[in-house]
Amino acid sequence: MVKSRGTEIAIGDRRPGCTLTQWLYEELRFAILSGRLKRGVRIPATRSIAVQYGISRRTVVAAFEQLLDEGYITSRTGHGTTVSRTLPSDFLPYRRPETPSKQRVGADILSRLQPPIRPFNPISPAVTEFPISLWARLASRRLRQLSATLLSGGDPAGYAPLREAIADYVGTSRGVNTRPEHVIVTTGMHHGLDLIARSIFKPGDQVWVEDPGYSGTTEVIQNAGLVPIAVPVDERGLIVSLGKEKAPNAKAAFVTPAHQFPLGSTMSLDRRLELLQWARATRAILIEDDYDSEFRFQGRPIPALQSLDRNGLVLLLGSFNKVLFPGLRFGYIIAPDSLLEPILRLRFQMDRYPPGPQQAILCDFINGGHFERHLRKMRELYAERWRSLRVNADRYLARHLSLPTIEAGLNTPAYLRTRLTSHQAELAATKLGIQTLGLDRFVRQRQDIRGLLLGFAAFNDQQIADGAKLLARALDGRR
């Protein structure tokens, strides 16, 4: 064991034929790369390692020199030797992803879209625009005066003032009929979907999902043992009549009415009424995934499906993770009276209650008017970025892709005009370092949709123009 600031680092056995220097070098390098020796941490002196392992100090120095030369450790007189804050692997060029297997799932999507964010990452908001110093000020004020109640525990439904702020917000901005007692604070959309899927339904229950639709929703549903029934979507949203043909007695429908994922359409009023009528007749539950409807930059704000419900059949899910920043991990469920209890019971069994101090900071951000202000600013910015993508797509990508008119969100589908499949187009783009997702990732049974999902929210004019040129080159190579 090598001790580093009290942490013991296990050094593995020496392979036969491996020199002592090579062994020590490899073991320390592995400890650094695997994170067991953290960046910036002080490494014990060569002398103590030599004594501990009964090897000559010269051997240890030689291993250290190699690590120094390669940039894994740094040494400063008077400060000893520490693990470098920037490791050589940080500078490695963009690594080509392996050809994905046939079954491409959500976890794979996330690994593909991890930072650094580059055009046209479809799921990233413009995090650099978030007013971080304002947030830090609110946070430090709040943390300095945390109440005993916030320190001691919490309510499984969330911090009461935050629930009040959320109820006010969804009431005014989305026409939602609710009271604070109906708000459950979650860590986001996935958490909300999971709680609902596991507390309200039974394994084996059939539920409608949109085709194409969000793959994360299907994963959550399948994890809970429910059976997703793919119902096609057109420009007016879920085709309710087809759902009724395929599974008339399904227990639920999971829908994105404000901004269909990934096609970007808005569910029409007649379809909303038809869906509610089906739910009323069969006692099915409607789960409204309202993941990014705040970013409606054109047309009138669209009221939530929940606002039309008079029978307590709709669960509305919202998230702060796109509107503010994905690392925040806060969202909410607006649940009717009859469904609150099973959801809260499961919540309490899973993780008790959401983190109090962070909820209080978010609450201060909303109540101080900063949330509304940030939303207004981002809506304008995203509208500009969407226009920039349209102009650049017309200029550089017109031969390859056609973009529909969208009115909201952080991304747009771009339909292929050539013969490429979505998967081929995604691979070609990825090879040149463009981040995008083929629409095939979201298709369940449809054969008629070929294209890419392009995000614009996180990129300025120049990045969008450069990205469009690069994407054109990628798709040219595959024509």
Ligand X SMILES: Cc1ncc(COP(=O)(O)O)c(C=O)c1O
Summarize as ranges the residues that interact with ligand X (CB under 6 A): 123, 188-190, 214, 216, 256, 261, 289, 291, 319, 321, 326, 331
Nearer to ligand X, 110 or 151 (CB): 110
Query: At its nearest, how many Å lie between ligand X and the CB of residue 289?
Result: 5
Q: How far is CA 120 from CA 63, 109, 430, 459, 473, in A?
A: 43, 14, 10, 8, 15
Query: At its nearest, how many Å lie between ligand X and the CB of residue 288?
Result: 11
Nearer to ligand X, 36 or 444 (CB): 444
Nearer to ligand X, 178 or 256 (CB): 256
Nearer to ligand X, 289 or 309 (CB): 289
Query: In the bound complex, which residue of the shown chain has the CB atom lying closest to ligand X?
Result: 188
Nearer to ligand X, 244 or 446 (CB): 446
Nearer to ligand X, 71 or 106 (CB): 106
Query: At its nearest, how many Å lie between ligand X and the CB of residue 287?
Result: 11
- Helix and strand tally (H, E) in the chain? 16, 17
Query: At its nearest, how many Å lie between ligand X and the CB of residue 179?
Result: 23
Query: At its nearest, how many Å lie between ligand X and the CB of residue 295?
Result: 12
Query: At its nearest, how many Å lie between ligand X and the CB of residue 189?
Result: 3
CB atoms within 10 A of CB 279: 20
Q: In what order do the strands lie in the sheet with 437-438?
A: 401-402, 411-416, 451-455, 437-438
Query: Pseudo-torsion of CA 131, 137, 143, 146, nearest 10°?
Result: -100
Query: At its nearest, how many Å lie between ligand X and the CB of residue 437?
Result: 10
Distance CA 297, CA 227 (A): 35
- Ramachandran quadrant class, 10 (left: phi over 0; alpha: psi -120 to 50; beta: rest): beta
Nearer to ligand X, 59 or 218 (CB): 218
Within 8 A by CB and 6+ apart from 82, the residues are 40, 41, 42, 43, 73, 74, 75
| b (16+ CB within 10 A) / e for 417-449 | eeebebbbbbbbbbeeebbbbbbbbbbbeeeeb
Q: Which 3 state secondary structure label does DSSP give 319?
A: strand
Strands 42-43 and 80-83: antiparallel
